[in-house]
Amino acid sequence: MDELIASVVRGLGIGSTYALLGVGFVIIYRATKVINFAQPALMILGGYFTSLFATRAGLPFPVAVVAAMVAVAAIGALCERVALRPMVGEPPFAAAMVTVGVFIVLLIVAFRLIGTQVLTVGDPWGLSRTSVLGVSVAQVDIAKIVISLVAIGVIGVFLARSRLGLAMRATALDQEVALAQGVDVGRIFGLSWAIAGALAALAGMLIGTASGGIEATTALVALKALPVIILGGLDSIKGSVYAGLLIGVAESLTRTYQPEHAPFLGANFDVVVPYVIMMAVLMVRPYGLFGTPEVQRV
């Protein structure tokens, strides 16, 4: 039983970072109808900047995290302005391919900055454990869950309550009408990328905590957020939270139990579990769990 609970908590921890990344994807998708394949690169840069500010520049950890989020938000907004703005009005797939190009360029930048070293982000949790309801769990997992859910909650409140959030929702609904109502749609695009960049930086920090550390190849972990957003529905923030947690837990449970109970599936089967779940769900619900079915006008 302890093993099960520990596994579920670990899954929720990693799942909440997936959710964080997923929300970044969803915010960009809602504003611009583009899947941002550059998100993994933004995430790795976030981890790098956190490490830079916290361990080398010696800033206090929370300050370093916020500074990294601001830095990556700026990079995200810059990418949008340079590469994505000219693609407005082009088919979504072409724009998505542009983000693949941006991903490749940013990834090389990250490789160049990080090199072969393994960076620590200087987090205060380390490997220490705490007892919750009599079960020993890693503090890092608790931190991941709390920080992610708080960050997503803040984004949710921002979208629901603030004027700018209203403008973002209006843009998501209909760009031209939003423009006619005086919303600066271009700025909303930039803002969406900035928010997604900040969330990615936060996720990068969380993934680099504790035993893991950040390597240049850690970027590929963020690709797990793709099945998450498809599972949850491309345009649903709620969906990406649920799907992120679901996939995180499924992955963690597979890692715990599959080698023992289903060894024929091979080593590291947990890596493909998100994709298997995604395919199974798409069979039943082609627009994910919470996605809006596309209505076509004839």
Partner 1 sequence: MSVTTEGARRRGAGRGRPLLYTSYAADQAIWNTPAKRVWTLALLVAVLALPFYLDRDLTSLLTTVFVYAIGGIGLNLVTGYAGQVSLGHAFFLGLGAYTAAVFGGEATDDVVGLGLDMAIWLPLAGLVPALVGFAVAPLAARVRGLYLAILTLGLVFIGLHIFNEADSITGGAGVGRAPAEPVLFGVDLTTRFELFGTRVNRDMVYYILCLVVLVVLAVAARNLTRSKWGRAFAAVRDRDVAAEVMGVSLLRTKTLAFTISSFYAGIAGALLSVVVGRISPNTWDLFLSIDFLAVVLIGGVATITGSIMGAAFVVLLPRLVDELSAYLPFISGHTGEGFLSVFQLQTMIFGALIVLFLVLEPRGLYGLWVRVRNYWKAWPFSY
Interface residues with partner 1 (CB under 8 A)? Answer: 35, 83, 86-87, 90, 92-98, 100-105, 107-108, 111-112, 223, 226-227, 229-230, 234, 265-269, 271-272, 275-276, 278-279, 282-283, 286-288, 294, 296, 298
* DSSP character at residue 83: I
Smaller CB distance to partner 1: residue 18 or 53?
18
Residues 180, 164: Cα–Cα separation, whole Å:
16
Find the shortest distance in angstroms from Cβ 145 to partner 1.
25
> Residue 133 forms beta bridges with which residues?
none
Cβ closest to partner 1, residue 6 vs residue 226: 226
User: Minimal distance in Å, beta carbon 14 to partner 1?
Assistant: 17
Q: Which is nearer to partner 1, 133 or 298 (CB)?
A: 298
What is the Cα Rg of the chain in Å? 19
CA angle 218, 206, 84 (to 5 degrees): 65
Supply the minimum distance, in Å, between the C-beta of residue 275 and partner 1. Answer: 4
Min CB(98)–partner 1 separation in Å: 5
Burial label for 209, CB within 10 Å (0-12, 13-18, 19+), is buried
> Which CB, 61 or 111, lies closer to partner 1?
111
Token readout for 31 is 């504003």
Nearer to partner 1, 141 or 235 (CB): 235
Q: Phi first, then psi: what are they for 193, rounded to 5°?
A: -65, -40
Q: Minimum CB separation from partner 1 for residue 172, in Å? A: 15
Q: What angle do CA 26, 235, 73 make, to 5 degrees?
A: 20
Q: How far apart are CA 138 and CA 152, in angstroms?
A: 22
- On the CB side of 224, CA atoms within 13 Å amount to 29
Q: Is 129 helix (H, G, I), strand (E, B) or coil?
A: strand
Least distance CB 15 / partner 1 (angstroms): 18
How far, CA to CA in Å, does 14 sit from each of 46, 68, 118, 212? 17, 20, 19, 12
**Nearer Cβ to partner 1 (100/157):** 100
Q: Are 117 and 54 in contact (CB under 8 A)?
A: no
Q: Which is nearer to partner 1, 73 or 225 (CB)?
A: 225
| Smallest distance, partner 1 to C-beta of residue 296, A | 5
